[in-house]
Structure 1
Amino acid sequence: MAERGENGTGLAGVSAAARQAPGRGLPPVHLWNPAHCGDIDIVIRRDGVWMHEGSPIGRPELVRLFSTVLRKDPDGYCLVTPVEKLTIQVEDLPFRAVTLESRGDALVFTTDVGDEVEAGPDLPIVVDTDPVSEEPSPRVRVRADLWARIARPVFYQLVEMATVEEDRLTVRSRGAAFPLGPAGAGLP
């Protein structure tokens, strides 16, 4: 991968910022307000593959590292460090919810970059429906304004767990109810 400059800018700077607090949780990207430094040729494809300059980023550790400094601002998705902000492209949502398990009263999703998301009032499950195809498009909030597309097999699990409440298939997690769609509407 190309790295800009020797002063920690570009991919080198993003990588260094993400490594500053290993094992201590996510970097505080919400507190960082650096100048916008332009675009970087990173695309998160609809299928969740992270691309750099047209090639897949093959190291899962590097994708995980970059995912920790990802933020969505009013002007789009960006990788943020204390000193720079680089815009990237996201074709759908930045993450995929690829597994689901029930832990006590919580539904816990795991994303393709290793985040665990315990759905609840602050991290809702939302199912939009395409007005033409009527295809459900489920997602779960991961953090701030970053969402994960719920993979089809995981959505099937949710539907199997659902109960009918007020004519809607509904799941509950941490005391919150999340409608998946109308009961009997031909959901998967």
Structure 2
Amino acid sequence: MTSPSSLTNLLAQLAGLQGERQRERALPPVELWNPPHCGDIGMEIRVDGSWWHQGDPITRTAMVDLFSTILRKDEDGQTYLVTPGEKIIVHIADAHFIGTRVDRIETTLGPSIVVTTNVGDQVVISATNPLWVVTDPVTGEPRPYVLVRGRLIARLARAAFYELVEWAEACDQVLRVVSQGTWFEIGDVEGQTT
């Protein structure tokens, strides 16, 4: 399990590797808020990670970033935008975020894989934030996911998944990657996902 200080160090290392400063991301305590449900105003996150309101795309990056910080998936399986005073439903086509980048950082404990999402979240794949792969029943293609926070997940973009495949090791005909000392299966040696 990654401690908060270890995670901060990993993310600082990643920012140095990327040649940029890590953006501080303030996350309000949405899990503590219990406002009344205010209905459905036509908010959705599509398969490509784009945000829409009543059929129109939300193109302001700052607004999407803000909304992503007050997103919460409840035990009822529904996702909401939550403030202290209201809760509105957000329809999710596949995942809450897109994992646009993966980086592997070598530490004294071994490799750690960091996923960066389309809204700037960074999460270390670990037992706490696991990686899993689902096979699309129609196309047979792998769909890799990682738990970001709470019940919110990110689907890894194709290029990010290919990075994981490059780092994978074969064991008993299964491809797997290691992060934070935990192994995660991502497919089988013949190219079929698990």
TM-score by length of structure 1 reads 0.83
Amino acid at match of 2:69: T
Residues 1:82 and 2:88 aligned together? no
Offset at 1:107? 0.3
The equivalent residue for 1:165 is 171
In structure 2, the CA distance between the partners of 1:166 and 1:114, relative to structure 1 (3 Å rule), is same
Residues 1:113 and 2:114 aligned together? no
The equivalent residue for 2:96 is 94
Residues 1:140 and 2:135 aligned together? no
The equivalent residue for 1:177 is 183
The equivalent residue for 1:49 is 50
The one of the two structures with greater contact order (alpha-carbon pairs below 8 A, sep at least 6) is 2
CA distance in 1, matches of 2:125, 2:60: 28
Offset at 1:59? 1.0
Amino acid at match of 1:69: I
User: Pairwise mapping of residues 1-80 of structure 1 onto structure 2 (< 5 A)?
Assistant: 25-73=26-74, 74-80=76-82
CA distance in 2, matches of 1:170, 1:78: 34
The equivalent residue for 1:125 is 131
| Secondary structure in 2 matching 1:26 | coil
| Secondary structure in 2 matching 1:137 | strand
- Structure 1 unaligned runs (5+)? 1-22
- Structure 2 unaligned runs (5+)? 1-23
Offset at 1:24? 6.8
Question: Which is worse superposed, 165-174 or 178-187?
Answer: 178-187
| Secondary structure in 2 matching 1:158 | helix
Matched pairs, number = 165
Tell me the C-alpha RMSD between the 2 structures. 1.5
Offset at 1:25? 2.6
The equivalent residue for 2:10 is none
In structure 2, the CA distance between the partners of 1:131 and 1:55, relative to structure 1 (3 Å rule), is closer
| Secondary structure in 2 matching 1:61 | helix
CA distance in 2, matches of 1:149, 1:107: 15
The equivalent residue for 1:14 is none
Amino acid at match of 2:63: L
Amino acid at match of 1:158: L
The equivalent residue for 1:8 is none
TM-score by length of structure 2 reads 0.81
